[in-house]
Structure 1
């Protein structure tokens, strides 16, 4: 498998750029400014390249090549530094809690949640000490969702009272690191804003084109809302064609996740590729299409169609990635350049990463490029395993009736199509399943069965949905001339919309059927670390090299990687087996305690109410996955649970676990309570009415004072200072995260 670098020049360029970006992501805060290094390396490369052009010796050429690689590596570092907004001298971090007011503009889509609106605002100025100063920074804000409060719109300029808070770290073990996710999007603060805390003072979109695109997307969404009547089908239609998933319910999202078809609901490469394929096919029907002028015209039409679709979907990041990728493909075809798909992908990645280096951290970016790379390389090779078309065509005989020959012919074509689709799905999964395990902790075994039907139906639905939009637009134009003609024309639009809704219904029903028919096909609860994900990628690459080169050394390397991976899993289990923890979880308005021993746990809700599915999924399950838990039991209240407790008095409960004692106080401490020394922690619940002196008299000052999530913020702020002044250690799980009462290596 010898790599031909001439048609894949950009592959060599994008790799050092990515290496520089990764270096900054891991070691960025410790690095000084790197732009001087970039300037020096570029100047050296220019000089050596000039010398090599006049003295074409292998040494000079190699030196120029090494300097180019070093310059691109430095460029990755420098671009990442420049894209990191928190390094600015006037970033919000520099002002801290002294901010009295700030002025900001809404710079993102608005997410509709059950009780709030959520969006991102970009700060332009802050008022500190009565003076306005220029500032930069992103804030993820939430505001109450009411009937009288309008949803934030892109371009709204707000005047907000109060200072935002830095984004919170994960509050419970294994929780999704939302703070890091926001930082990758240059957002370092969060704030809940009350209606009387902000005022819209102007409308000034940061990008007028994007503002128009987002408004167009909502207008187009209204077409589906008008013609698609079933709520579930309308929600999926908007997600499938426009990428708007506000109305998709959690049950539908979970069904698609369980069957490995979530990618269909995200407008990205699939939809843009379908549009590109349709345009290429239609233009390919034109006569004389090989001429240079017609080839150029075809390219222009293709670019207009793809970017018009990107515009109608609101210029979302996923669509822009796909549009850039296919734009390079169209340009390459139009110019007749002999370049490979690998090089085109490298060019697209290079341009995108130069524009925004943090795209390298984006899960969609990683999955998109890996899937396309795997499809380009593996799909043709997997397709050669079987030849159903040739097999069934070979069954035809001259003496057979025409009907039988047609059966063999169409059977071969249909089975060949199914096999080609199977090969494509398998190829995409080979490169992406390590990331699926790492990010989503699951792998749907039903992906082949679900995608074989879901992808064709959804692809046809995308075409039909786009035609519905075109007919609606045409009907509007006809209405300008004749209202009667527009009225009759609308029946055609309604008929096609009915077909569109029926296809969406069939698509949905099939996905739910697969989920019901194969309930055990989802392998979930898998936890792998980042190094383990790299090891799996190493195994895959080594095996691909072995099959291509037929050298046993590559198979040996794959076995080494696999052995290291298995060893790391065994070592992790060995380290975890004796580990014991008692956790006071951070779950809003709840009192929850977890008793962990190795891979087994008992989760107790002290308020005797069971945890909701959302609370378990987002607060408890991630930590269970990280520990590879084999048994997790949930107990609503102490009654019937395996942890021994004693009730010292109505407001005091004592528990003893693995030699450590913990007290839970949810009322007053009686003056007659006898001293209870030697406790590891005292957990205050439901705004327990206790004073530091009373707690010191009963428990001493050695145990930590833990405020659990059932305590109000005003209560914690008041009591925290009093207990600290009395010599206690305090911990607020709402702000500082879950508290570990006991931990032994």
Structure 2
């Protein structure tokens, strides 16, 4: 029987998460929840005191249930209070009335090949000629030019113009970047030209973060100076400092395909490695000293927080550092036996600090992985006693060398088995979440992590050693004669050479696994939120059955498996019945899709095939969502299975302009017209349901009504200029036409009734 009183945060933290998730799901609008949450908390407190005096299980259970409900209510109220859009002076209140605004750079700058991206925190706006205090955040993107440096944290900008609300996904299944920004309290975006803003001054919102960022930049310069290979430098900087701007797309893809992306981010792995090294060193040198447990914990905390400071105090580093801080303190005060409660305390504190972390993928994966490792790794490892097996192979008559060889092999394979158990345990709890977010599962993760984690661990140690040696060399060089600096530099040079070789070996091992085990990755898996929850239920009930061997858990496992299979069948049946014509929103391109259930044919009428990037980010999410297999691609209608024919403009034969035929497509009873140039009213009348205008086709509403009918849908695809679509849209709407601009409104979707043939 579980004594819940010993593990309070195992109950409180899930209750807090439920309250926060409920607020995020239902929205933060509506009346303030703080009065209700406070009243509920006060009532729960009174009931707890009453139950203590009653000494009855019913009273205790009622008080506990009400306390959990109060914690959930406080979580919802906290989330509502932390939602910046509820503030009376938020940027949303001014809409497009803003003439210009003053804001401070309040985030890291992401450097891309052609752009910089960062977040501004608004301080004031000018509306109708008057300056007003304002709040809110704007995600800005600006071109990366030779004469324009990267935005620095703390720069105060004066920006001309007004930011626009973040756009929703433009194509089916696309990543919802607007929601991603909202969960970080960013509701606006703006592309800022170099002549559209100027830097007024440097005034960091948090001086500590500003100093930390500068320290991280200086350390990165050490790696840039000593590591000459561009690829190895990029991974070295990501591995030790968490700076991933210079990691190329091919490297990211290789790490994603092998399930080792987590190694590139400075998080729990690096913080844990650093603390483990410090603990081992202190135990070896001063393990018998008085008060060792307490002062070694304090020294360990100083080391990991110093590392967090030197790596820029990023969100992932802070999350891992806080988690290890709670664990270290729990161990120092003799509470290491309640590790689950300790993790609950860490999660509870982080969510009180920022409730929106509950929707952060890194937060979810980190805590689930640690929980799974703590629970599952010892249980998996116990299934095989590798060391004992090889130890038993020794015989008294065997030479001492043979006996030691048996022992060494057993010890080595035991370490390997422990690493395998750890990797398997981490995947158990994160399996469903990985499918939901990343739509793939690499079965090569076991081999990749088995090779990459030890190498990367040594690389982290050597990389930190390089930074320490460089600091020592600089300190000694400042007090020693000038000629000593060159000799002192040999130490960091040697460490840098070893560091680069380890990073090269680490990279090559990942690329080798990615190349030779490419078929071990199951891709394009779509799992809904409900199905993800069912998968978690399946895993939890399966673990419960393995632990207790009770048939009730096995029955629950079977029931959840049936429900999960039923949800997959229901989703497949729902998709099979759909027939849909889609005009996609892809910048400066024309692309349409003809969907029949999970089968699809894409056509690019402009005779240019889509790039791999366009397919990956614009079309692939929809393919994954519908579990489509083997999509067809046609370029310029060549080789398409869609019945099409061209209708020539009579005036084009007279030599006044280039021929501009109308392309007509007939699909499942839906009549679609494509026009890319001007046509005359003398064109043969052809009634269509949807008319797609491409490449700024100069058509007047009267011509469209005479040729295609007055009730046609007029769609402007992404090859049309913004000014053209805006002008034509108002003209067509004035004549009673239904219009759709895919560049601003997203993909045009037209469902075809099942009665059509």
**Deviation of the 1:411 alpha carbon:** 0.2
Deviation of residue 247 (structure 1)?
Answer: 0.3
Are 1:599 and 1:631, in contact at CA under 8 Å, matched by a contact in 2?
no
- CA drift of 1:552 comes to 0.7
| Contact 1:253/1:262 (<8 A) preserved | yes
Quote how far apart the aligned CAs of 1:31 are. Answer: 4.4
After the TM superposition, which of the residue ranges 64-73 and 469-478 deviates more from structure 2?
64-73
Say if 2:727 is the partner of 1:718.
yes
Alignment partner, residue 700 of structure 1: 709
Q: Could you tell me how far apart the structure 2 residues matched to 1:432 and 1:290 are? A: 41
Distance across 2 between alignment mates of 1:41 and 1:496:
59
Residue 615 of structure 1: aligned partner: 614
**Aligned counterpart, 1:358:** 356
SS at match of 2:483: helix
**CA displacement, residues 333-362 of structure 1 (integer Å, 9 cap, x when unaligned):** 222235411011100000000111110000
1:303 matched residue in structure 2: 301
Give the match for residue 312 of structure 1.
310
Deviation string, structure 1 residues 616-650 (Cα, Å, up to 9, x no partner): 00000000000000121122211122122212123
Moved more, 209-218 or 279-288: 279-288
In the TM superposition, what whole-angstrom CA distance separates every residue of 1:413-459 from its partner, at most 9, and x where no partner exists? Answer: 11000000000000000110101100000000100011100000001
Alignment check: 8 A CA contact 1:303 1:327 kept: yes
Pick the aligned partner of 2:663 from 633, 653, 656: 653
Residue among 668, 676, 688 paired with 2:678: 668
Shift of residue 674, structure 1, vs aligned partner: 1.7
Conservation of the 8 A alpha-carbon contact between 1:16 and 1:72: yes
User: How far apart, in 1, do the equivalents of 2:676 and 2:644 lie?
Assistant: 15
SS at match of 1:297: helix
Task: Name the CA distance, whole Å, in 2 between partners of 1:367 and 1:376.
Answer: 14
The CA distance in 1 between the partners of 2:194 and 2:387, in whole Å, is 65
Q: Secondary structure at the match of 1:285?
A: helix
CA contact 1:8–1:339 (8 Å) conserved in 2: no
1:169–1:50 distance in 2 versus 1, CA, 3 Å: same
Corresponding residue for residue 686 of structure 1:
695
Moved more, 294-303 or 380-389: 294-303
Deviation at 1:161, TM superposition (A): 1.2
- Corresponding residue for residue 515 of structure 2: 516
TM-superposed deviation, 1:4: 3.3
Q: Where do 1:77-476 residues align within 5 Å?
A: 77-287=76-286, 289=288, 291-292=290-291, 294-337=292-335, 339-476=337-474
Secondary structure of 2:697's counterpart equals: coil
In structure 2, the partner of 1:587 is 586
Counterparts in 2 of 1:659 and 1:384: CA distance versus 1, 3 Å: same
Aligned with 2:312: secondary structure? coil
Contact kept in structure 1, 2:105 and 2:118, CA below 8 Å: yes
Counterpart CA distance in 2 for 1:288 and 1:372 is 27
Secondary structure of the 2:384 match is: coil
Tell me the CA shift for residue 33 of structure 1.
1.3
Q: What residue in structure 2 maps to residue 73 of structure 1?
A: 72
Relative to 1, partners in 2 of residues 1:57 and 1:565: Cα closer, same or farther, differing over 3 Å?
A: closer
Distance 2:666 2:598 in 1: 20
Deviates more, 1:146-155 or 1:636-645: 636-645
Counterpart residue number, 1:573 = 572
**Would you say the 8 A contact 2:585–2:718 is kept in 1?**
yes
Partners of 2:48 and 2:666 lie apart in 1 by 73
Q: Using the alignment, how far apart are the partners of 1:490 and 1:400 within structure 2?
A: 51
Q: Quote the offset at 1:220 in angstroms.
A: 0.4
1:328 to partner: Cα distance: 0.9
Contact persistence 1:259–1:450 (CA under 8 A) = yes
With over 3 angstroms needed to count, the CA separation of the structure-2 counterparts of 1:288 and 1:543, relative to structure 1, is closer
Q: 1:296: how far off?
A: 2.4
Q: How many residues align?
A: 742
1:15-68 deviation digits (Å, cap 9, x = unpaired): 211111111111134642110012212322333344455555545544432332
Q: How big is the shift at 1:219?
A: 0.8
Unpaired stretches in structure 2, ≥5 consecutive residues: 649-658
Counterpart of 2:563? 564
Which residue of the partner structure matches residue 598 of structure 1? 597
Aligned partners of 2:101 and 2:126 also within 8 Å: yes
Contact 1:7–1:339 (CA under 8 A) maintained in structure 2: no
Gaps of 5+ in 1: none
Secondary structure at 2:199's aligned position in 1? strand
How far did residue 670 of structure 1 move? Answer: 2.5
Secondary structure in 2 matching 1:200: strand
Higher mean Cα deviation, 198-207 or 584-593?
Answer: 198-207
Q: CA deviation at 1:610?
A: 1.2
1:203 Cα deviation after fit: 1.2
Alpha carbons 1:205, 1:211 under 8 Å: kept = yes
Are 1:269 and 1:319, in contact at CA under 8 Å, matched by a contact in 2?
yes
| Contact 1:604–1:638 (Cα < 8 Å) also in 2 | yes
Q: Does the CA contact (< 8 Å) of 2:28 and 2:83 recur in 1?
A: no
**Matches of 2:435 and 2:361, distance apart in 1:** 12
- TM-score normalised per structure 2: 0.96
Could you give the per-residue CA deviations for residues 176-228 of structure 1, whole angstroms, max 9, x where no partner exists?
Answer: 01110000000011111111211111111111111111111111011110111
Q: Is the 8 A contact 2:681 2:707 kept in 1?
A: no
**TM-superposed deviation, 1:162:** 1.1
Q: CA deviation at 1:720?
A: 1.0
Task: Give the aligned partner of residue 654 of structure 2.
Answer: none
Q: For residues 55-83 of structure 1, give each alpha carbon's deviation from its aligned partner in whole angstroms, at most 9, with x where no partner exists.
A: 55545544432332122111101110011
- More deviation in 9-18 or 499-508? 9-18
CA distance in 2, matches of 1:733, 1:257: 32
Are the structure 2 counterparts of residues 274 and 152 from structure 1 closer, same or farther at C-alpha, using a change threshold of 3 Å? same
Q: Deviations over 1:652-688 (max 9, x none)?
A: 21111111111111101124202112x1111111111
Q: 2:748 aligns with which of 725, 739, 743?
A: 739
Contact 2:258-2:514 at 8 Å conserved across structures: yes
Compare 524-533 and 40-49 and name the one that shifted more.
Answer: 40-49
Paired with 2:36 and 2:751, the residues of 1 have a C-alpha distance of 49
| Residues in 1 aligned to 2:739 and 2:380: alpha-carbon distance in whole angstroms | 60
SS of structure 1 residue aligned to 2:680: coil
Secondary structure in 1 aligned to 2:27? helix
Equivalent-residue separation in structure 2 for 1:208 and 1:565 (angstroms): 51
8 Å CA contact 1:99–1:128 kept in 2: the answer is: yes
1:506-531 Cα deviation digits (max 9, x unpaired): 11111111111112111001001000
- Which residue of structure 2 aligns with residue 644 of structure 1? 643
The offset of 1:135, in angstroms, is 1.1
Q: CA separation in 2, counterparts of 1:646 and 1:709?
A: 23
Distance 2:630 2:336 in 1: 57
Tell me how far 1:389 sits from its aligned partner: 0.6
Q: In structure 1, what is the Cα distance between the partners aligned to 2:6 and 2:227?
A: 48
Mapped to 1, the partners of 2:454 and 2:61 lie a distance apart of 49
